[in-house]
Chain A
Amino acid sequence: MSTSENIRPVEQVTVAPLANIVERQQIWSRMAAKYGVENPVPPWKSSLDGICDALDRGGCGPEVLSFVDRRNEEDTLSATVYSTLPYPENQLVSLAHSLVARGVIDETELQHRLAGIRSRLQAG
Chain B
Amino acid sequence: MSEHEHDHDHDRTAAPMVDEITDFEVLEIALRELCIEKGLFTVEDHRRFTEFAEHIGPTPAAHMVARAWLDPEFKKLVLADAIAASREVGVDWLEPTGFGTPSDFTALHVLEDTPTLHHVIVCALCSCYPRPILGNSPEWYRTPNYRRRLVRWPRQVLAEFGLYLPEDVAIRVEDSNQKHRFMVMPVRPEGTEDWDEDQLAAILTRDCLIGVAVPKVGVTTNAITDTRPAIHPVQH
Interface residues of A (CB under 8 A from B): 9, 11, 18, 20-21, 24, 26-28, 31-32, 34-38, 42-44, 46-51, 53-55, 57-62, 64, 67-68, 71-72, 75-76, 79-80, 83, 87-89, 92-93, 95-96, 99, 104-105, 109-110, 113-114, 117-118, 121-122
Tell me the minimal C-beta distance from B92 to chain A in angstroms: 16
Verify A61–B38 contact, CB threshold 8 A: yes
Tell me the minimal C-beta distance from B98 to chain A in angstroms: 13
Verify A121–B26 contact, CB threshold 8 A: yes
B15 an interface residue at 8 Å Cβ cutoff? Answer: yes
Verify B34–A50 contact, CB threshold 8 A: no
Which of A18, A26, A47, A54 has the largest count of B CB atoms less than 10 A from its CB? A54
Known: A24-B23, A53-B52. A87 touches B139 (CB 8 A): yes
A48 to B30, CA, bound (A): 11
Verify B24–A54 contact, CB threshold 8 A: no
Contact of B50 (CB < 8 Å), options: A35, A42, A46, A76:
A46
A42 to B19, CA, bound (A): 13
Verify A80–B233 contact, CB threshold 8 A: yes
A42 to B50, CA, bound (A): 14
Tell me the minimal C-beta distance from A57 to chain B in angstroms: 6
Verify B15–A38 contact, CB threshold 8 A: yes
Interface residues of B (CB under 8 A from A): 15-35, 38-42, 45-54, 101-104, 125-127, 136, 139, 142, 144, 178, 227, 229-230, 233-234, 236
A118: nearest chain-B partner, CB-CB: B26
Tell me the minimal C-beta distance from A83 to chain B in angstroms: 7
- Beyond known contacts A37-B17, A47-B50, A88-B139: 19 more, CB 8 A cutoff: A9-B236, A21-B27, A28-B24, A37-B15, A47-B32, A50-B32, A50-B49, A51-B41, A55-B40, A67-B126, A68-B125, A76-B236, A93-B27, A96-B31, A104-B40, A105-B38, A109-B34, A114-B30, A117-B29
A96 to B29, CA, bound (A): 11
| Chain A residues, Cβ within 8 Å of B229 | 79, 83
A118 to B234, CA, bound (A): 35
| Chain A residues, Cβ within 8 Å of B40 | 54-55, 58, 60-62, 64, 104
Known: A35-B16, A36-B16, A60-B39. A96 touches B102 (CB 8 A): no
Verify B25–A43 contact, CB threshold 8 A: yes
Verify A105–B50 contact, CB threshold 8 A: no
Contact of B41 (CB < 8 Å), options: A11, A58, A67, A80:
A58
Tell me the minimal C-beta distance from A62 to chain B in angstroms: 8
A88: nearest chain-B partner, CB-CB: B139
| Chain B residues, Cβ within 8 Å of A83 | 229
Verify B38–A49 contact, CB threshold 8 A: no
Tell me the minimal C-beta distance from A116 to chain B in angstroms: 8
A24 to B103, CA, bound (A): 38
Tell me the minimal C-beta distance from B15 to chain A in angstroms: 7
Contact of A42 (CB < 8 Å), options: B24, B47, B51, B139:
B24
Known: A34-B18, A54-B45, A83-B229. A72 touches B126 (CB 8 A): yes
A27 to B23, CA, bound (A): 9
| Chain A residues, Cβ within 8 Å of B34 | 99, 105, 109-110, 113
A67 to B144, CA, bound (A): 16
Which of B24, B34, B47, B54 has the largest count of A CB atoms less than 10 A from its CB? B24
